Structures are given as structure tokens and as C-alpha cells.
Amino acid sequence: MVESLIALGSNMGDREGNLRRAFGMIGRQMKLVKISSVYETEPMYHEDQSWFLNCVAAVETDSSPRELLERLQTIELEMGRERSVRYGPRVIDLDILFYGNEIVSEPSLEIPHPRIAERAFVLAPLNEISPKLIHPVLGRTVSELLDDLKTQKKVVRKLKRASDLAHSS
């Protein structure tokens, strides 16, 4: 079993309900170990859209990185995710942030996620559950990456216990 960290985000429809449903689907396939609070976050890259709810979950999985990606993409599809506008609105977004300490570089899979260090909406919830985790490429802890982040994007803790969403699914 490997501990993997997954980012969850939603900015369409019932955002809390979407996270709840995603937790339920993930929990049927792997063990949810830790879950951050839920944060309401300002969109990045494509700013003309609704704010997101974001959180991070640690899971234990026996899937390979590629299999894990395929499982997460299947969940996204089953929940109605459509990939039309890059960084655009989405019912659910599930990204692999880390897979143990492995570094994976394939055409459609990069682990650690290549944009972790620029995203407050990932670093804030990740720091809550794994502040001392060392990024295997950058050689810095999550806490250090968050401290060094230079962004004006707002990230506000909304629900202190996202685990309540996971356990009510």
C-alpha cells in the first residue's frame, strides 16, 4: 500500500455535495486516511467563473500511479465532468499531488503535480494534513512552499471538518 495525496475541487452545482459524492466514490476503492478542511478559493488561470471548494485527502492505495489516475478520471466522468475549457468550471476535479515519494514523468501523468508550488488552493489544505512532507523534486516542505507562495488569490477555510463530508456519503 502506498499513501497518495489527492486534491479535490468543485465549482459547479452543489459544491459540497459534489465533494461528498467524490469522497464516497473514492472511499469505495481505497482507504481514506486523512482529510483536510474545505477551503473556498478564488479561481486561477481562468478567472471568469465561480469560486471553488477545495480540499486534500490522503489515501492508501494498492493501485499503480497510472491505475490511480484512471480510477480518479473514471470518478470524474461518472460525476459529469466535461473537459472543454482548460482550468474552466468543473463539477469535480481530482488530481494526484503525490504518490509516496515517487517521481513519475509520462506524457499524461506527472507526479508530483507540476503546479503544486504555485497554488494556494492546494498548499493550504495540504499544509493542514502534511506540513512536513518534502516535495521530492523541489526539496522543500509543504509548509516552506506555502510560506514562500506569492499570490493574491484568496483561500478561506469554509468547513473545518471535510471528514464530515466523507463520512456522510
Indicate which residues carry an active-site annotation.
Answer: 81, 90, 93, 95
Give the ranges where 51-90 is alpha helix by DSSP (H).
65-78
* Positive/negative CA dihedral, 93, 45, 108, 104: negative
First to last CA, the chain: 24
Residue 47 CA to residue 99 CA, distance in Å, equals 29
Judge contact between 50 and 43, C-beta under 8 A.
yes
